[in-house]
Amino acid sequence: MDDLIKRYIAETIHHLSVGERADVQQELEANILDMVGESPDVETIEETLLALGSPASLASQYRGRPHHLIGPDTFPLYWKVLCIVLLIAAPLAALFSIIGFIITPPTIALAEMVARTFAAAGGAVVLVFFWVTIAFALVDAQQIPVAAEVWDRATLRALEEKAGKAIKTSSVIGDLVALAIGLLALTFLMTNSDLLALYSKEHAPIPLFIAVRLRPYLIAAMAVAFLSFLVAIIKLIRRRWSASILVISSGVTIITTAFWVFFLTRWNLYTPDLLASLALTQPRWQFTIRSLCGFCILMGAITIGTECYHALWKERV
């Protein structure tokens, strides 16, 4: 077989999934050889391959469905979320940077402080873009339909009768912004965990956690926050409460609560200096933290309860 035909087929199947490559390769070989005929000249081969279209376009015909990182159905929502979260997160990152300079004034020139502030905002833009894009790409890869899958008389009537089951967009956007800021903060803390400290005018900042031990928990916290981020996006896409969304959302709330309770009760994470500076005994400190855990569990329960109310009982007011 001609080398050009081999290269064309190799390039085409490169765009397909591994599972279908061998089959399509065999088929294309047979078809192209039929098309060019016996002992073809270079011009005939080139004309035939040009008529078949570029390898990418031919492969897309074989796939049937075009490949998108974020498909056309989801893109408008992706763009909206990205703009909103960026518009809030970037100025906030700059603001945090300025507050950092005020709390612990660095010994650098004003120009460098301005540059660092812009760098903080730029870093926030990159991170938000990364997190939002990854989350939407994952949701899109799962083919979560933007509209309800069933559109019948009952669904039509439900629009009117069950307006209470609508998921409030503003509240989800608020969650997304808060989670994006949380993800930014966690990413920042990966290399600056000593900033989580007890600040006082009398003494130098006392770190709350032992940095080396904290790092794996920060990664886990990012994973948990990212899960919540995904759930918020699914809510934004589906826009109405359903049993499946309730189960997913409640599941993630339980995972999040369990993670924070687990994290807060890792007693070997806290610095001894912290307890000393607070003049607390170990049992008293543990009681305080367990109370905080109780508060976390209560908040988780309230969140799940509120969502159950919206998803299962709330009707049009």
Partner 1 sequence: MWDDQILSNFITELNRGTLTLCVLSQLRTPQYGYALLQTLAEQQIVLEANTLYPMLRRLESQGVLKSSWDTSESRPRKFYQLSEDGVMVYERLKRHWLEQHAHIQTLLKEEHPHG
Q: Which residues bind partner 1 (CB under 8 A)?
A: 23-24, 26-28, 30-31, 33-35, 51-53, 57-58, 61-62, 64
Assigned token pair, 33? 């050889």
- Residue number, 53 or 122, with CB nearest to partner 1: 53
Question: Least distance (Å) from partner 1 to the CB of residue 47?
Answer: 12
Closest to 303 (Cα-Cα) out of 249, 258, 262, 266: 249
- One-letter amino acid of 259: F
CA distance 287 to 281: 10
For residue 2, how far is the Cα from the chain centroid?
47
Q: Which CB, 33 or 255, lies closer to partner 1?
A: 33
- Shortest distance (Å) from residue 20 CB to partner 1: 8
Nearer to partner 1, 35 or 275 (CB): 35
CB of 40 to partner 1, least distance (A): 13
Contact present, 40 and 2 (Cβ < 8 Å): yes
Closer CB to partner 1, 33 or 210, in the complex = 33
Nearest-approach distance from CB 28 to partner 1, in angstroms: 7
Q: How far is the CB of 27 from partner 1 (least distance, A)?
A: 6
Longest dimension (CA), the chain: 92
Give the residue among 279, 168, 180 at the shortest CA–CA distance from 228: 180
Q: Distance between CA atoms of 224 and 148, rounded to whole angstroms?
A: 27
- Strand ranges in the chain using DSSP code E only, listed in sequence order: 197-198, 206-207
How far CA 12 is from CA of 6, 15, 40, 63, 257, in Å, comes to 10, 6, 21, 11, 48
Taking the complex as a whole, the smallest distance from the CB of residue 48 to partner 1 amounts, in Å, to 8
Nearest to 182, CA basis, from 146, 138, 229 = 229
- Residue closer to partner 1, measured from CB, 49 or 227: 49
Among residues 33 and 220, whose Cβ is nearest to partner 1?
Answer: 33
